[in-house]
């Protein structure tokens, strides 16, 4: 069942060139939606303006070798292992969803273009089903357990906003696709057609709604993470104000309490006292 190409039998209902054309159209919609998103939100303009401003404020030049090292660290830490997530549960959930989506997407292209019949290697079909299952595991874990964690997000699972369009359409695509494949293999008849239709609709929303969802976010995150590391390396990070030398008499005159608690606990907090979460948490 899991070693069978689910698109091979679909050719008897929908012509192969129409199936392949749909996949190409979805790729075009992703590219076009990302470009429109950049224009609408001015993401690229903000990115380059921030880089130009940081270049004027940098304290030292970053060499080619160091820049390559920073790029590698960005790929390994921020992209491949999602190091920006401090919460280990959310990090694992994200990794399952990300790598599952990659497997699902690549194997879909392979099954519809390279092996559009029953001659497809079993491992390719297995990766398609595995990718869908991984997305479902990571996505539903996030939606029903991490997202509704009051201390972390404070959002009930039934509250849906526009930002949820990506995760919901992604879950719909993989869930309906996997169920459709299982029903098709078992000869479920009309239910196979129903879930095929739901699969196509959710996939169209996923890839066609890039401009209105967080799909394009995945393309900006690596660039933003690399820029953040570069700003830190050349000393132009402007997230925090530069206080200067805390031993400067003029600075101490302006802020007389600095020597009292510098390097220890903040004022009015004894040793070992931790900040408590707000009462509504």
- Are both 214 and 127 inside the same structural domain? yes
Positions of the chain with pLDDT lower than 70, given as ranges:
1, 44, 47, 51, 148-155, 237-281
> 3-state DSSP call for residue 249?
helix
If asked whether residues 249 and 148 sit together in one domain, one would say: no
Judgement on whether residues 145 and 177 belong to the same structural domain of the protein: yes
DSSP 111: I
User: Are 152 and 252 found together in one domain?
Assistant: no
Residue 78 sits in the same domain as residue 179: yes
212 in the same domain as 261: no
Q: Kindly state whether residues 133 and 259 are assigned to the same domain.
A: no
Statement to judge: residues 40 and 166 lie in one domain: yes
Q: For residue range 65-106, what is the model confidence (pLDDT) as tens digits?
A: 998 999 999 999 988 998 888 889 999 999 999 999 999 999
The pLDDT tens digits of the residues spanning 121-138 come to: 999 999 999 999 999 999
**pLDDT computed for residue 272 by the predictor:** 47
CA-CA distance, 218 to 233, in Å (whole number)? 24
Q: How many domains does the chain have?
A: 2
Q: Is residue 106 part of a domain?
A: yes
Same domain as 127, residue 64: yes
Reference 217, options 54, 100, 79, 88; nearest CA is 79
Neighbours of 238 (CB within 10 A): 11
Does residue 246 share a domain with residue 199? no
Considering the domain architecture, whether residues 119 and 248 belong to the same structural domain is answered as no
**Is residue 53 in a domain?**
yes
Whole-number pLDDT of residue 148? 65
Separation of alpha carbons 34 and 177, rounded Å: 25
- Compute how many other C-beta atoms are within 10 angstroms of the C-beta atom of residue 124: 17
Q: Domain span at residue 196?
A: 9-234
Same domain, 220 and 83: yes
Taking the whole predicted model, whether its pTM rises above 0.85 is answered as: no
């Amino acid at each position: 069942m899991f070693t069978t190409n689910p698109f091979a039998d679909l050719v008897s209902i929908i012509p192969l060139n129409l199936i392949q054309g749909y996949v190409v159209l979805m790729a075009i919609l992703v590219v076009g939606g990302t470009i429109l998103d950049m224009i609408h939100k001015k993401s690229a303009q903000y990115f380059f303006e921030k880089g130009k401003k940081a270049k004027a404020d940098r304290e030292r030049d970053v060499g080619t070798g160091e820049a390559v090292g920073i790029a590698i660290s960005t790929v390994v830490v921020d992209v491949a292992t999602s190091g920006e997530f401090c919460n280990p549960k959310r990090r694992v959930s994200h990794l399952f969803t990300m790598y599952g989506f990659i497997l699902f997407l690549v194997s879909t292209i392979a099954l519809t273009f390279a092996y559009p019949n029953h001659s497809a290697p079993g491992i390719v079909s297995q990766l398609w089903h595995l990718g869908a299952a991984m997305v479902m595991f990571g996505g539903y874990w996030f939606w029903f357990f991490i997202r509704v964690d009051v201390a972390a997000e404070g959002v009930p699972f039934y509250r849906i906003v526009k930002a949820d369009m990506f995760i919901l359409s992604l879950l719909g695509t993989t869930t309906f696709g996997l169920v459709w494949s299982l029903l098709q293999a078992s000869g479920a008849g009309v239910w196979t057609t129903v879930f095929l239709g739901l699969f196509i609709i959710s996939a169209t929303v996923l890839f066609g709604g890039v401009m209105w969802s967080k799909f394009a976010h995945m393309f900006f995150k690596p660039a933003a993470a690399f820029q953040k590391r570069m700003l830190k390396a050349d000393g132009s990070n402007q997230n925090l104000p530069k206080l200067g030398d805390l031993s400067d008499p003029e600075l101490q005159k302006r802020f007389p309490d600095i020597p009292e608690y510098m390097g220890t606990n903040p004022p009015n907090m004894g040793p070992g006292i931790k900040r408590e979460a707000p009462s509504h948490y």
